[in-house]
Chains A and B, each alone.
Chain A
């Protein structure tokens, strides 16, 4: 990681839907090679912010630079260097995963090893299944696989682990760390705090369109403790998730 180098810079970003202000002037930076988490309650403006960075939505005002490219003037260039997993996206339902990978390989102009990419998200056994035949979590994993096709500099993941079973979630964390270790910057949103704590190098907390905190998870926790906060009850040495994982194993689950 090279914490001094900024790869994404968002300044005074404002987005209004009609008269409803969804994002109210937020600024932050993402450093090259880190996993940056955007946290916040439903409707806080995470997806809106993400999709503006992905050049999929227009902004009302502010400046967004992705790898030095302005989203207003260079959307096509930006799309070539980012990988995008949308909170909600669709694929031709009647096509198999291999055929869809082929499609995206063409869309990104990249030659890929389709099977290897599917294996990265544990879908090698589903390669010949149609997209509509996948379970919700498998669809989610497929969507994540498509973000890696163009070997992107930055990937954006909008709630990638929502709907995943604990095994898939943990394996995905490993995958995301591995992607980060290969030099790709990761911007991720999540509602799971354990995930943010485990995975993210830094997090920004958004509420009602404003950033209300930004730091490393450790620092935020330390700050809270320093303010005199104490947990009501001491936690046990294991939790239900540990029980589930020890019962069902750590491998990707496919049927």
Chain B
């Protein structure tokens, strides 16, 4: 009998196809990777921001001897003055909508009119925060002018705001990348752990072992199926975000592709956690606690819902040790700062390092039988 040499590739693809069908028919897989993220997006999308004080870029060269500065810098002004090393960075932050406005207070020109002059720059990226600050400032100026004392002759006038063309920063733009990251984590950890555990338990793996496919082929076949499924999930999340909630894809399709590429990396790393869990779990019911131990802290601390900057310092150290933090960070930079993959190579590197570590562990604890 003359048969062509055995192709591991063909066998691996057969597993991928079968596994993919199997995943699509399993309701829990669909719920984990699609329903949960979408529900969170909807819920948190409606809750929105609720800022206590607005951040305002403050020009370092400003005159800080006048009363206006004292009011703005005062504790209960509702304004948080932020200074930057360079003017370019300050403008960049305004364009991203990270600050509501940029304010610079010019020194009093006694020779001319003896009035304090204020330059205000706004940008539509900051949405209503810029407008709120403008009206706050107007109110302060008219109050100071009407007080008369002790600097009676000081007049403040406001220059026409310079509208810098930026873009709208919506809460979906913050929430979606985080949800995407978390859905990858959940799908990677839970999906992989359950699948390999149950394939082992139900002796599906044993039957595979009786065929000429190599063990690596079985793992790769299953992993590719999960990858394809999760990437389809990511695409659906991004597209629903884009068309139903107005999620911004700065560079359009390029940004979309970058997000998918980053999703793939994240999923591969998180699947490593899943392999570890399936290896360590003694029975089916010990998988969820194990998996939660890995996903929950990252869910809460990796900037999925809340910006890490809001955490106390000691907690931030924890946050900056988690792989999802870097994935979320990179995802946001790509999604709403329009960064390319190279611009986030630092974050990618850390995620990859986590991947190397976790797969080394997975090789140690993974069990076939």
Q: Give the interface of A toward B (CB within 8 A).
A: 54, 56, 76, 79-80, 82, 84, 86, 88-95, 99-100, 102-109, 146, 150
Contact = CB atoms under 8 A, between A and B. Distances in A.
B194 to A, nearest CB: 13
A103 B15 contact: yes
A150 B210 CA distance: 12
Contact of A108 (B17, B199, B204, B212): B212
B212 A103 contact: no
9 contacts: A56-B209, A76-B212, A84-B207, A86-B203, A91-B204, A92-B18, A107-B15, A109-B11, A109-B212
A153 to B, nearest CB: 9
A103 B21 CA distance: 11
Nearest to B19: A92
A107 B206 contact: no
A56 B206 contact: yes
Contact of B21 (A95, A106, A107, A109): A95
B7 interface: yes
Interface string B191-214: 000000001001110111111111
Interface string B16-54: 011101100110000000000000000000000000000
B contact residues, range: 20 to 34
Interface of B: 3-4, 6-7, 10-11, 13-15, 17-19, 21-22, 25-26, 199, 202-204, 206-214
B219 to A, nearest CB: 14
Contacts of A106: 10-11, 13-15, 17
Contacts of A108: 11, 211-212
A79 B25 contact: no
Given A102-B17, A105-B14, A94 B26 contact: yes
A13 B363 CA distance: 31
B203 A102 contact: no
Given A102-B14, A106-B13, A94 B25 contact: yes
B202 A79 contact: no
Contact of B17 (A86, A103, A109): A103
A34 B210 CA distance: 22
A107 B14 CA distance: 6
A92 B6 contact: no
Nearest first, the 5 closest Cβ-Cβ pairs linking A and B are A106-B14, A90-B202, A84-B210, A94-B25, A103-B18
